[in-house]
Structure 1
Amino acid sequence: MKRGLWLILLLGFSALSFAPERAKADLDYLVGIGPRVAGSPAAAQAAEYLAQQARAAGYVTEFQSFSYTRSRDTGSSLSLGESRLEAFALSGSPGGSFEAVLQAVPGIGAAGDYDNLDVQGKIVVVRRGGIPFLEKARQAAARGALAIVVVNNEPGGVRGTYGATGPIPGVTVAGRDGEGLFARSGERVRLVVGSVLEQAQARNVIARRADSQAPGVVVGGHYDSVPGAPGANDNASGTVTALELARTLRSESWARDVWFVWFDGEEDGLWGSRNFVQAYPEWVRGLRAMINLDMVGVRASSALGIGGNPALLELLERSGVQFNDIGNSGGSDHTPFAQAGVPVLFFHWGIDPNYHQPTDTVADPQVMAETAGVVRLVLERILGR
């Protein structure tokens, strides 16, 4: 987009009261309560805060409670001789202890990477990226692998999820530790996957205007974070951007049927958005769009990434918005809506170095304000003035 139009968009939105200082206060609160793991006291505190802030802005709020079974990592590791590497069990992974030969798989563990490889009964090691963890595990399992080790594509460690029950045990290891594993293919290793099953009690937070009986557009993002990560960018940034949008749109007549939903359990496999779609099929069928904000507080790429429905993307292009088309990216809360036939847009500034780390403590309200300006533009185009 031409710089002049971009400035007009931002200045126009700023005049409509997106308040960076208020957004910063919200961010500080959510980050300050610690990792918001679904079902934890911190997550419950975050949900209450969001509901209270939405009510203060003039919305009617309710909680959608649900439960699900998830796996929790009680301690995982990979040992080769005298070397022992810390590992993180993938959420949804079976647990147990395993001894077998390590087999390096070139690439990311896609189907073609297994050509001419015998992995039957072995523990395979692959690189992160390209395809979801679950697909990596399925490809390995289809060829008889006993378990899978995924080496992070950043120096640090990462916690991941299958998003379902995994076909074989799986862990991740830090990039700085795991890269050397590829040179040790053929050695015998011991893998401990400390997964145990537990019930998580979670809640979505729903906010609507009192004069709205059904949503026309849902704007939302997940408020939970992974264990050990305060989740400033992932995803207090999207959570707070949606909250500040709710405040600024409260008095707009055309935005009467914009509902705001903050999802729980995303990090364990999109549980909040799945449960919303399943619990409210009539509302979902009537939606004109779902807009998902996930990791919109750090400028991790050169332009805002937006993916989803082609007609909505074309609407943005016609409006002069410059963005990176990230296609039909999955892995976040727009996915269950898209699967139900709802036109979706996914707003995402990219993966920053603090992703799923204890250092995810900072997000930039100005970047969030830029994102919110584009979301508002989309809503105006969809719903009209």
Structure 2
Amino acid sequence: MRKTSLSILLAASLSLGGTAVWAAPLQGVNLQSDQAFDNKIVKRIKVENIYNHIAKLSKEPRVAGTPAEAAAVEYIKKQFETFGYDTEVQDFDIYSYTEPSKIEFSVDGMTLAPAPMGFTYGVNGAVSGELVYVGLGSPDEIKEEAVKGKIALIQRGGFSFAEKITNAAAKGAVGVIIFNNADGVINGTLGEPNESYVLALAITKVQGEALKSRLESGQAVTAAINVEGSKTEHAVSQNVVATKKATQKSTNQLVLVGAHHDSVDGAPGANDDASGTATVLELARVFANTPTDTDIRFVTFGAEENGLLGSYEFVERMTQEDYDRTVGMFQMDMVGSKDAGPLIMYTNDGEKNTVTELGAAAGARLSQTGQATPYGMEGRSDHVPFAEAGLPAALFIHAPVEPHYHSPEDTLDKISLDKLREVSTIVGAAVYQVARPDTPALENAKVAPKAVDYNFEERELE
């Protein structure tokens, strides 16, 4: 992990709560002119363009490492080049995964509907044994004498799916059942293959709590798991990177705007995340001929669904110079479904940062009510590797997510133009707040834009 060093973002920067902040015009002028500046971006955004990109990208699933992902990469690359950008494609190695042809899970005295789901990079096999509840699956909760030769029942949360499985396997469990901590069925990934995995399936919260209740009442519960046909193979995924260089006197700052272009197997991924990718493309078009004193890098990531592999690869390849001059990273994931909840900005640690300050201020300026976009705490998208490296980053998403998330029903007809407009204008205005050339009379100002009040929300994604 790179050392956090944001002190040279600008010579004329100041600190708000310990966060490095860009130089900006004097406050009195800001209050009168920010909306006028916003309009230079907002009025040029054509939400129909975003919709049309989604239509192109969501004709079929774009699983990382497949020809369909490669076709999406080529489409994105050509769009960036049409806008006049020099575009880089970053290849990186991954493991592709074929879903099982058969998943069976039986429990004495219980019928499971909906059916259990497998995990990406899960293994094949057949086991049966007594079911044992082990909480969140931490090493301390799992006792070898309790789980050896048995199937561990584990609640979602606290640890990754992979950690829960390997923790149980290390104590001798022959299988793992993970039940959700929210409504719906888990559609999860283990991140990468691992020889230490044992058979593992995911069930709903209701199903898991019913099993837990039986166990806690003293009943002996026997279960059997059978998984066939899954396959893990080496493959190549790609990131697509387009950079807009500053056209005015450069502040030597860099802003990152991203989304992931891959989807899960079987899902056209109109909202997850063709919507984010299409919004990145439209913002790239708008900014292509917009004067800026800041570099803007537009990125679509591959293999997000495999464990954020593309964004981790991108962060690993960042030069120290680019790292030091990065103001923040704006990630857009699932930003268009009419069936999802309101917009929220998630940070990996649940703390405000430069990106949320910019997003909240832009949201307040653009909202008819003047209400700022709230923030919360959530990982699970491509803002995470940037945050872990010490860079300000936030995920823009509508939550709770729609019920057809990660399913064949994630299709174009579920897309809302209003939600696309909301996110594209807020992110566009927030990025321009940094990137716009300051007026000459105020170019040495050391006053940041007025902070707005925005609230933390405990809002689950699912």
State the TM-score, normalized to the length of structure 2.
Answer: 0.71
**Match of 2:391, SS?**
coil
Give the Å deviation of 1:249. Answer: 1.1
Give the Å deviation of 1:98. Answer: 1.8
Give the Å deviation of 1:297. Answer: 1.3
Unaligned runs of 5+ in 1: none
Q: Give the Cα–Cα distance (whole angstroms) in 2 for the partners of residues 10 and 144 of structure 1.
A: 62
Q: 1:215 to 1:203 in 2, by over 3 A?
A: farther
Q: 1:143 to 1:200 in 2, by over 3 A?
A: same
What is the identity, as a one-letter code, of the residue corresponding to 1:340?
Answer: A
Q: Give the Cα–Cα distance (whole angstroms) in 1 for the partners of residues 184 and 104 of structure 2.
A: 15
Deviations along 1:68-121, one digit per CA (max 9) or x if unpaired, are 224433233213359786443212334432222122456x55678769x93333
Q: 1:193 to 1:53 in 2, by over 3 A?
A: same
Matches within 5 A, 1:117-156: 118-128=146-156, 132-137=160-165, 140-141=168-169, 144-152=172-180
Q: Give the Cα–Cα distance (whole angstroms) in 2 for the partners of residues 209 and 320 of structure 1.
A: 24
Contact kept, 8 Å, 2:260 with 2:300, in 1: the verdict is: yes
> In structure 2, what is the equivalent of residue 311 of structure 1?
353
Q: Give the Cα–Cα distance (whole angstroms) in 1 for the partners of residues 423 and 274 of structure 2.
A: 14
Contact kept, 8 Å, 1:219 with 1:291, in 2: the verdict is: yes
Give the Å deviation of 1:148. Answer: 1.6
Contact kept, 8 Å, 1:30 with 1:236, in 2: the verdict is: yes
Please report the RMSD computed on the Cα atoms of aligned residues, expressed in angstroms. Answer: 3.4
Q: Give the Cα–Cα distance (whole angstroms) in 2 for the partners of residues 125 and 255 of structure 1.
A: 55
Matches within 5 A, 1:351-370: 351-361=401-411, 362-370=414-422
Contact kept, 8 Å, 2:311 with 2:382, in 1: the verdict is: yes
- Of 47, 53, 65 in structure 2, the residue corresponding to residue 20 of structure 1 is 47
Q: Percent identity?
A: 33
Matched, 1:335 2:374: no
- Of 36, 45, 50 in structure 1, the residue corresponding to residue 71 of structure 2 is 45
**Match of 2:326, SS?**
coil
The structure that has the greater radius of gyration is 2
Q: Give the Cα–Cα distance (whole angstroms) in 2 for the partners of residues 367 and 266 of structure 1.
A: 22
> In structure 1, what is the equivalent of residue 331 of structure 2?
292
Give the Å deviation of 1:354. Answer: 1.2
Q: 1:262 to 1:171 in 2, by over 3 A?
A: same
Q: Give the Cα–Cα distance (whole angstroms) in 2 for the partners of residues 9 and 100 of structure 1.
A: 67
> In structure 2, what is the equivalent of residue 89 of structure 1?
118
State the TM-score, normalized to the length of structure 1.
Answer: 0.84
Give the Å deviation of 1:303. Answer: 3.9
Contact kept, 8 Å, 1:51 with 1:61, in 2: the verdict is: yes
Matches within 5 A, 1:66-81: 66-74=92-100, 75-80=102-107
Q: Give the Cα–Cα distance (whole angstroms) in 1 for the partners of residues 184 and 361 of structure 2.
A: 41
Q: Give the Cα–Cα distance (whole angstroms) in 2 for the partners of residues 334 and 311 of structure 1.
A: 12
> In structure 1, what is the equivalent of residue 19 of structure 2?
none
Q: Give the Cα–Cα distance (whole angstroms) in 1 for the partners of residues 311 and 292 of structure 2.
A: 25
Q: Single out whichever of 200-209 and 189-198 deviates more from structure 2.
A: 189-198
Q: Give the Cα–Cα distance (whole angstroms) in 2 for the partners of residues 133 and 219 of structure 1.
A: 28
> In structure 2, what is the equivalent of residue 30 of structure 1?
57
Contact kept, 8 Å, 2:256 with 2:329, in 1: the verdict is: yes
> In structure 2, what is the equivalent of residue 219 of structure 1?
257
> In structure 2, what is the equivalent of residue 162 of structure 1?
190
Give the Å deviation of 1:151. Answer: 3.0
Q: Give the Cα–Cα distance (whole angstroms) in 1 for the partners of residues 80 and 177 of structure 2.
A: 43
Give the Å deviation of 1:227. Answer: 0.6
Q: How many residues align?
A: 376
Unaligned runs of 5+ in 2: 1-31, 365-371, 438-462
Q: Give the Cα–Cα distance (whole angstroms) in 2 for the partners of residues 176 and 96 of structure 1.
A: 26
- Of 123, 128, 153 in structure 2, the residue corresponding to residue 99 of structure 1 is 128
**Match of 1:239, SS?**
helix
Q: Single out whichever of 239-248 and 52-61 deviates more from structure 2.
A: 52-61
Contact kept, 8 Å, 2:259 with 2:382, in 1: the verdict is: yes
Matched, 1:323 2:373: yes
Contact kept, 8 Å, 1:9 with 1:373, in 2: the verdict is: no
